[in-house]
Amino acid sequence: MNDLIGFITARLDEDERTTIAFRDGHPGPCLNYEGQSPENYSEYDTCYRHLATAEASRYRDTAFGLREVEAKRRLLAYLIGLEDKATDNNWWSLDTDLPFKLLALPYADHPDYQAEWAPGTP
């Protein structure tokens, strides 16, 4: 389970970095589509590197992306807390790691994703 939790945490960190990179642009210098000098264009309107960063991001709305990452982090922390309480106090039983597998599912095409993390696998 620790590997799965570590995988999810790492993907959320990547999502956050990508979203912030989209929001903040990139470190210069800027290249643009038309080849004009930097003083003749607005970096955020025509910058090739900024647009490439935007295309690589799952989120064009930065605020939404950061809220989604935070929501998933809180859900992960909540699930870990429930699992700890089930072990320590035996008041609740987490019968499955399905919630963790579901959080990892969007990243199934990531090279570090493991087949046993797929929902429905024992």
- Higher-pLDDT residue of 20, 114: 114
> Closest Cα to residue 118, out of 105, 99, 106?
105
Measured between alpha carbons, how far is residue 17 from residues 56, 63, 114 in Å? Answer: 12, 13, 23
* Sequence letter at residue 23: R
Does residue 49 carry a pLDDT above 70? no
Mean pLDDT along residues 35-59: 55
Percent of the chain at pLDDT > 70 equals 57
> Closest Cα to residue 16, out of 52, 66, 75?
66
* Sequence letter at residue 110: H
Does residue 41 carry a pLDDT above 80? no
- How far apart, in whole angstroms, are the C-alpha atoms of residue 83 and residue 92? 8
* 84-108 tens-digit pLDDT: 666 555 544 555 688 899 999 999 9
Mean pLDDT along residues 101-120: 93
pLDDT for the residue 45? 47
User: Rounded to two decimals, what is the model's pTM?
Assistant: 0.67
Does residue 34 carry a pLDDT above 70? no
H or E element: which one contains 71?
helix 62-88
- Per-domain residue ranges of the chain: 2-24+61-117
Mean pLDDT along residues 19-29: 63
Measured between alpha carbons, how far is residue 62 from residues 8, 44, 82, 122 in Å? Answer: 20, 14, 30, 36
